[in-house]
Amino acid sequence: MLSPERLALPDYEYLAQRHVLTYMEDAVYQLLENREDISQYGIARFFAEYFNSVCQGTHILFREFSFIQATPHNRVSFLRAFWRCFRTVGKNGDLLTMKEYHCLLQLLCPDFPLELTQKAARIVLVDDAMDCLMSFSDFLFAFQIQFYYSEFLESVAAIYQDLLSGKNPNTVIVPTSSSGQHRQRPALGEASTLEGVEASLFCQCLESLCDRHKFSCPPLALVKEVLSSVQRLTFYGFLVALSKHHGINQALGALPDKGDLMDDPTMDEELERLLVQVPGLVNPVAASPEASCLPARTPPRVGSPWRPLHHSRKADAESDGSTEETDESET
């Protein structure tokens, strides 16, 4: 049965909204690039497996950055893959630096841009040094906002800068590399007595922005909810509020709630199924009554072509006092 959304839209609008042409072009390109291998099992099977991977969200793994950001579905799939692959970082209580999180992102997307990781880290660290440690959940929710809404945030940064300088921001804003988030904070000597901008005026500008642009924006009602709770706010204060907003996370649909972030029963079951099939990884006494009294067997490390992180840190590790842990208790 066709969904109500499908029935309400003409064919060409529905196909454009779902970016079907993007996937068709990519599938044909992959077919031509690998035609010798594909010819062994048929073109029909290739297309079936390709679009099945698109539906499952695995089609973005190890692809170039231009592809993973090409559609909203690709962005959601990448966010979900990053969470599912590296949630053990948070489960173990590890705290990593921005560069270490970037290494993890590059394991899934080798050409992932450092600038985007830096912007996500800045949402967490704000005025702290960029080499400070961050928890997995803090970084993940900040990264979600920065990655999925990147074009929107570029325009928001330009609007914020115009409001600080007294300009009229209600004009068409074209984001460029020079109008990004790296320049929206004025020098200390130029800062006004009242920090940030007036929330109500900022809200009016963002409402106009969402009406003008076609790229993904957070739900306007939730943006208004964030801005209605304060009289003034800074640019990074706005981004922090977005990253911690439960409703925005639900509307995006890529990640679970923060309380369920470390739980993924489907992935756990799949890993257990795979480990059982690997010789030498199954504890031979696991089925015996005495197994519960024995320490868990540590599986051997498997060699990887990727360079490992140069060190790891635990949440309860000793600190030299130069950095502070990010607060995971905030919601």
Q: The tokens 């173990």 sit on which residue?
A: 92
Q: Which residues pair with 134 in a beta bridge?
A: 96
> Any alpha helices (H) in the chain, and if so which ranges?
4-8, 11-17, 20-33, 35-38, 43-56, 65-68, 72-91, 98-108, 114-125, 136-148, 150-165, 199-212, 220-228, 235-243, 246-252, 265-276
- Looking at residue 245, its amino acid is H
**Which tokens go with 92?**
């173990």
The pLDDT value given to residue 114: 97
Using CA atoms in the order 179, 183, 184, 188, what is the torsion angle rounded to 10 degrees? -160
**Distance of alpha carbon 302 from alpha carbon 108, whole angstroms:** 18
Task: Tell me the mean pLDDT per 10 residues along the chain, length 331.
Answer: 57 78 94 87 92 96 96 97 93 93 97 97 90 95 97 94 82 48 43 74 92 81 94 95 96 92 79 71 43 41 38 44 47 43
* Three-state SS sequence of 10-49: CHHHHHHHCCHHHHHHHHHHHHHHCHHHHCCCCHHHHHHH
Q: What pTM, to 2 d.p., does this model score?
A: 0.73
The pLDDT value given to residue 184: 45
**Distance of alpha carbon 21 from alpha carbon 85, whole angstroms:** 29
